[in-house]
């Protein structure tokens, strides 16, 4: 993936998620400022139902709103990126391109972060919410 597409695809993914997090943090901040006595709280994850036009209360079935879709999307994208790097670096059963190995390591740890984020949200609750900022490091 040493091509323009190999760098533009992950880069656009980072831009989209970065813009999403920026919009969500400002929405939460200004919502706290509008309500008297409300305090602003930040987190490493923002539920995707906050994008719903029905006021952020969530659209669709309640069962779908209980899943942490942001972490799931990031795990899926990291898995695709990791497999793409490993597959394109392997020829004849040998790993030939070390640059792809560096990118595969990046995708692996990005996927690990997304998995931890999903655990924090609700799915497994392995990591308790006070350790939430650890996933942003």
Average pLDDT value for residue range 117-128: 62
pLDDT score for 106: 87
Q: Regarding predicted confidence, which is higher, 73 or 127?
A: 73
Q: Which backbone phi and psi does 47 adopt, to 5 degrees?
A: -65, 140
Q: Is pLDDT of 135 > 60?
A: no
- Taking the domains of the chain in order of start, what are their residue ranges? 4-136
CA pair distance 72, 115, nearest whole angstrom: 8
Q: If residue 114 lies in a helix (H) or strand (E), which one and from where to where?
A: helix 98-121
pTM, full prediction: 0.67
CA pair distance 40, 43, nearest whole angstrom: 10
For 20-31, the pLDDT digits (tens) are 888 888 888 888
C-alpha distances out from residue 92 to 87, 96, 100, 109, 114, Å: 11, 9, 16, 27, 32
CA pair distance 93, 41, nearest whole angstrom: 50
For 40-97, the pLDDT digits (tens) are 877 766 766 555 555 555 565 665 566 677 778 888 888 988 898 888 888 888 888 8
């Amino acid at each position: 993936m040493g091509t323009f597409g190999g760098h533009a695809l992950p880069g656009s993914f980072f831009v989209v998620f970065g813009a999403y997090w920026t919009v969500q943090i400002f929405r939460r901040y200004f919502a706290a400022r509008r309500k008297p006595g409300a305090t602003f709280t930040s987190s490493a994850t923002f539920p995707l139902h906050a994008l719903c036009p029905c006021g952020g209360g969530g659209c669709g079935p309640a069962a779908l709103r209980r899943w942490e879709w942001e972490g799931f999307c990031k795990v899926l994208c990291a898995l695709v990126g990791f497999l793409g790097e490993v597959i394109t670096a392997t020829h004849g059963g040998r790993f030939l391109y070390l640059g792809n190995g560096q990118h595969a390591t990046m995708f692996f740890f990005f996927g690990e972060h997304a998995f931890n984020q999903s655990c924090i949200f609700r799915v497994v609750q392995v990591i308790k919410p006070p350790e939430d900022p650890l996933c942003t490091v």
